[in-house]
Amino acid sequence: GAGVSQTPSNKVTEKGKYVELRCDPISGHTALYWYRQSLGQGPEFLIYFQGTGAADDSGLPNDRFFAVRPEGSVSTLKIQRTERGDSAVYLCASSPTGARTEAFFGQGTRLTVV
Amino acid sequence: GENVEQHPSTLSVQEGDSAVIKCTYSDSASNYFPWYKQELGKGPQLIIDIRSNVGEKKDQRIAVTLNKTAKHFSLHITETQPEDSAVYFCAARRNQGAQKLVFGQGTRLTINP
């Protein structure tokens, strides 16, 4: 596709369950980012990949959150033992490289933990 | 770390008038400043950006100005139209080191017909 694709668009899960959120970046983009956006707030950085490696994971809130990008393209954000406070829109963005280039966002996955 | 403050949080203007949104940043090492427009249920869309080596950039009805000394930058939308109604976010990023964007809190812009 032409843009960043995120699936699912909506996810409702019960407290304590495990969830995976998927991001398909723009083809050829080596940099990939995950952000979290709470209602009425700006996006907050979670993790940044350059290729297959996590170059900066300083935004992950705790060890229940983990992300992978095994082949340098698709990325999966994994959340274990979900809590109601994890409810938010999770946004993925990609750019051709990390530096000096624009980041393009997907439409996000709205996660609701009940 | 970087902190970005954005004002106002809400802005209502008459169609055809201009709208201005202002942001300040704290990290003097930041040198890339994008603006995003977010419509309901969608991801942020890049509308314009500016790098620290220029003071102003314009694209049709949209312009951004940057004052590095004062560490603030602004978005100007002229001849506003109903389709400009959305939430706008400013952001800042270092070119070296940390690659993450730090966003402001957002401005909900409403264009009144």
Q: Contact at 8 Å (CB) between A108 and A10?
A: no
| Nearest Cα to Cα of residue B98 among A33, A107, A71 | A33
Element (H, E) at A78: strand A75-79
Contact A40 B95 (CB under 8 A): no
Q: How far is A7 from chain B (nearest CA, A)?
A: 13
pLDDT tens per residue, range A63-114: 999 999 999 999 999 999 999 999 999 999 999 875 667 889 999 999 999 9
pLDDT at B96 (0 to 100): 61
Please give the Cα distance from B89 to B103 (Å, whole number): 7
Of the two residues B97 and B9, the one the predictor is more confident about is: B9
Calculate the CA A45 to chain-centre distance: 9
Please give the Cα distance from B43 to B15 (Å, whole number): 25
pLDDT tens per residue, range A80-94: 999 999 999 999 999
| Nearest Cα to Cα of residue A77 among A29, A36, A17, A30 | A36
By the CB < 8 Å criterion, does A4 face chain B?
yes
